[in-house]
Structure 1
């Protein structure tokens, strides 16, 4: 038999084309079509498709009736030919309708998937935004001491500066507590309208009073009660800033390092300040592990030199680029666990345990090591102590850091 069948049609029936104006599988970029195709059903039943199936059944039934009548004449053959063409046309239309419906379903499912993905992305972006905002709020609430401690900032920005004076007793046998009680009995802040920020004890039996305004200090100095009490009032002097230069080559002498710091970092800005620079910079100490090719220089300097070097963020020394930052490391005594002095200068005769906070034994001899740790520093001041001694979030440590940094003369830096 030739390539044509009895009804003059090719044995290979071409696939029905998609409806005009409707691309076969056109989707938007990024649309998950493959996933949509896998979920699409094999048969789509619609009213239109059911109508064409019914028509096909009628035509085939009529063909069967004619065939059963007996011998076929020319008219019958023509009729069969016409009816068969009608059936084939109906099947073609059915295929077109089926394809159109299925493609619509695929496109709809792809759009649903895309919208779902976009919704998920939108939700994730919103959660990320909330997280960033919360983190930004937390960082804004952090003190500058915390930022220096965690290394997030190499520059210290002191809090609102306060003014302070030191008051010492005439009798050197008096304690700081005696001086504090005497001042509180003599001076009534509400009468002088003082804005006192704090009062802390110092050595030699004295106390330091910090106020919001310099006018408050003048009121204290002019107080007749203080003048007649025999107490000595002095202006406090602030410490010079300290900076740390990281990674300084150990094969260079101190003089060579200072010479490179000036020539490579300051000479272009202040060429006439060499002598002033050499006089204003002092090596406090070095830090770092032994037997390494580099170490850290901790320098004590003037506020002007500190500002110039800190603004550069790096100091160039010979062939080395060294990070530079403010040095605000706080000393803690491992005998009494108070801040501001070392065990060498501690007045306590018995150790205080850094684990349980009790006096009379050290950490290694503590009988309560199985119990939760308590902060020895906060216990001494009768404050909540449900944290480890020296913890970064310890209120006593934060206050000590704040006092230390505010005691340094940054000259408005």
Structure 2
């Protein structure tokens, strides 16, 4: 057996290695350490025996014996320190894991808070969503009337052309109209919003009496959507809807059956982290069901109490940065940067990230743009929110 110092060092090297790596996994177990200590002690004893039998004087033999004992004691202390360090590292790992769980929980709570703020306008003193709330949770659209005007043949006429024709045949000053807005739509049409039904009827009569090749119609409104915050991810959609009905609707609104409830409720989409224990349900409902659910402020789903809010988030395209459509349906040929507002590159390619942001949407229409694209106070976003809320059928909400 090799009794050189290098062999002793090699016996100690696994301990050193384990000290460096125990923060990830336990490299050296206690039985292994005990085995190495016994081996080192045996080798030291052999060194002492050889020294005793050899041609050394008493002082040399005593010196070797004392050195061997010191080595054995040092190895024992090293093992004790290793065990202590290992326990501390385990404690540190447990603390880190606990902090990670707390951080994930904080992220989930933050996401829920943001969802509530986005869906209600809370936290923004002058936000549009805050101004159109009714009470605490109700969104109240402006009580306006609208008229949709379309060309008889939409394939040969654009919305811009329709808008030009309408502005020629209708004189608001002569008809004493109170027009709140005029916007273009698909199929070559425009929608005119007026203060009263009487104003809307004047617009209809003017169009119908003209020989402009236009026709009028009632704008079709969309069903409202609600955000249900913190729904347990472990539940299936069917279980969630069953609980919403049984725990929130059945006893309080006897006129709504389970069949009619399920017919009027549709899952739009979910939001939140995929691995989170809870997510947010965005559901599309009829005006009647919406009133029944949102009047409670919270929905009880199994063992969970979930805040419920009107969903008022407007879609923004991350290709052209405009509101009202998603990137997958965008017709713009070029990208617009969400930071500098320029056309021709994406945010990831922007070379002006150190400069102050400019709103891409407001830049396009030559409006004040000294704010971030999508900012809560962005005029374009407020207009989009205004149009979105007033395009929904809240049935007198």
Q: What's the TM-score bracket when you normalise by the shorter of the two chains?
A: 0.5 to 0.7
- Alignment CA distance shift 1:272-1:191 (3 Å): closer
CA distance in 2, matches of 1:356, 1:211: 36
Q: Which residue of 1 aligns with 2:51?
A: none
Residues 224-271 of structure 1, C-alpha deviations (whole Å, 9 max, x = no match): 666411112111021111001111122222122111111111111223
CA distance in 1, matches of 2:214, 2:353: 47
Check whether the contact 2:340–2:360 (CA below 8 A) recurs between aligned residues: yes
For the residue of structure 2 that corresponds to 1:197, the secondary structure is strand
- 1:284 matched to 2:245: no
- Point out which structure has higher relative CO (alpha carbons under 8 A, 6+ apart): 2
Q: Which residue of 2 aligns with 1:329?
A: 313
CA distance in 2, matches of 1:362, 1:256: 42
For the residue of structure 2 that corresponds to 1:229, the secondary structure is coil
Check whether the contact 2:127–2:377 (CA below 8 A) recurs between aligned residues: no
Q: Which residue of 1 aligns with 2:38?
A: none
Task: Give TM-score scaled by structure 2 length.
Answer: 0.65
Aligned residues between the structures: 273
Gaps of 5+ in 1: 1-138
Match of 1:350 among 327, 334, 337: 334
For the residue of structure 1 that corresponds to 2:377, the secondary structure is coil
Aligned-residue offset at 1:272? 4.2
Aligned-residue offset at 1:210? 0.2
For the residue of structure 1 that corresponds to 2:202, the secondary structure is helix
Check whether the contact 2:127–2:376 (CA below 8 A) recurs between aligned residues: no
Q: Which residue of 2 aligns with 1:243?
A: 226
- 1:303 matched to 2:287: yes
Check whether the contact 1:148–1:328 (CA below 8 A) recurs between aligned residues: no
CA distance in 2, matches of 1:174, 1:252: 50
CA distance in 1, matches of 2:335, 2:148: 30
Q: Which residue of 1 aligns with 2:22?
A: none
CA distance in 2, matches of 1:140, 1:388: 15
Check whether the contact 2:226–2:310 (CA below 8 A) recurs between aligned residues: yes
Check whether the contact 2:247–2:301 (CA below 8 A) recurs between aligned residues: yes
Aligned-residue offset at 1:184? 0.5
Check whether the contact 1:147–1:153 (CA below 8 A) recurs between aligned residues: no
- 1:181 matched to 2:194: no
- 1:170 matched to 2:152: yes
Residues 154-200 of structure 1, C-alpha deviations (whole Å, 9 max, x = no match): 33232x31111111123323221111111101111111111111001
Gaps of 5+ in 2: 1-122
CA distance in 2, matches of 1:271, 1:412: 21
Aligned-residue offset at 1:146? 3.7
Check whether the contact 2:267–2:281 (CA below 8 A) recurs between aligned residues: yes
- 1:262 matched to 2:241: no
Residues 293-345 of structure 1, C-alpha deviations (whole Å, 9 max, x = no match): 22111111111211121111111111111111111111100111110100101
Residues 47-92 of structure 1, C-alpha deviations (whole Å, 9 max, x = no match): xxxxxxxxxxxxxxxxxxxxxxxxxxxxxxxxxxxxxxxxxxxxxx
For the residue of structure 1 that corresponds to 2:211, the secondary structure is helix
- Alignment CA distance shift 1:174-1:348 (3 Å): same
- Alignment CA distance shift 1:224-1:270 (3 Å): closer
Matches within 5 A, 1:150-161: 153-158=136-141, 160-161=142-143
Q: Which residue of 1 aligns with 2:361?
A: 377
- Alignment CA distance shift 1:155-1:276 (3 Å): same
Check whether the contact 1:187–1:225 (CA below 8 A) recurs between aligned residues: no
- 1:230 matched to 2:189: no
Over alpha carbons, which structure has the higher Rg?
1
CA distance in 2, matches of 1:192, 1:371: 49
For the residue of structure 2 that corresponds to 1:222, the secondary structure is helix
Aligned-residue offset at 1:292? 2.0
